[in-house]
A and B are shown apart, each in its own frame.
Chain A
Amino acid sequence: DVKVTQSSRYLVKRTGEKVFLECVQDMDHENMFWYRQDPGLGLRLIYFSYDVKMKEKGDIPEGYSVSREKKERFSLILESASTNQTSMYLCAIQTGPYEQYFGPGTRLTVT
């Protein structure tokens, strides 16, 4: 079975802190994605990566950056956390044509 793990289920950070969210897959999938999920807005794509050191901006990249140094790990970085980045963050991998498999999510609160 595919497994996607995210470093924390719940995280509380202060405004201005640098925040790292980690996502690790146990298979050899190339495409990995970071979304944020907000009530009434559904899922919005922040960044995705199609290979090591390769990344593309999604629909809402502002205030975020990503890192993919190894194929199995895809990190989302909030350079200077703000309260409007309080959200649920979901990592996903592409497991088949057009299909994605999601991790359990990290609920981030920025105070």
Chain B
Amino acid sequence: GDSVTQMEGPVTLSEEAFLTINCTYTATGYPSLFWYVQYPGEGLQLLLKATKADDKGSNKGFEATYRKETTSFHLEKGSVQVSDSAVYFCALSGQGGYQKVTFGTGTKLQVIP
């Protein structure tokens, strides 16, 4: 079945550092790919998405490119802020049937001043 693997956390960075959170997936067909973010004490929010190969999703300075050849969707940000401290979930949604979303286990990011 479908699965998502993302890097273990927690990740601790200094403010203004470059961020990469790795995500790879296994799925049949052509899934849509997502990054969700969960701030402390809140539910998940959709951060960005890509629906086909080579698409780049972007939002709030975060970017991720749908790489079908490497089955990856790594999250990047050029300069993180303290306010980016959160848990980040990579996810995919396969085609057909009901639109089930499969989530990774989450990566906690802590940004220190």
Binding site for B on A (CB under 8 A): 4, 31, 40-43, 45, 48, 50, 56, 58, 90, 92, 94, 97-105
Segment from B14-22, B42-50, B64-72, B75-83 that makes contact with A: B42-50
CB distance from A22 to the nearest CB of B (A): 15
A29 to B46, CA, bound (A): 17
Q: Is the CB of B105 within 8 A of A42?
A: yes
Q: Is the CB of A105 within 8 A of B43?
A: yes
A56 to B100, CA, bound (A): 11
Known pairs A42-B89, A56-B98; A102 contacts B105 (CB<8 A): no
Q: Is B24 an interface residue (CB 8 A)?
A: no
Q: Is the CB of A104 within 8 A of B98?
A: no
Q: Is the CB of A99 within 8 A of B105?
A: no
Q: Is the CB of A97 within 8 A of B99?
A: yes
CB distance from A84 to the nearest CB of B (A): 18
Q: Is the CB of A100 within 8 A of B101?
A: yes
Chain A neighbourhood of B25, CB < 8 A: none
A80 to B32, CA, bound (A): 37
Chain B neighbourhood of A104, CB < 8 A: 41-43
Q: Is the CB of A102 within 8 A of B45?
A: yes
State which residues 86-108 of B face A: CB under 8 Å.
89, 93, 98-101, 103-106
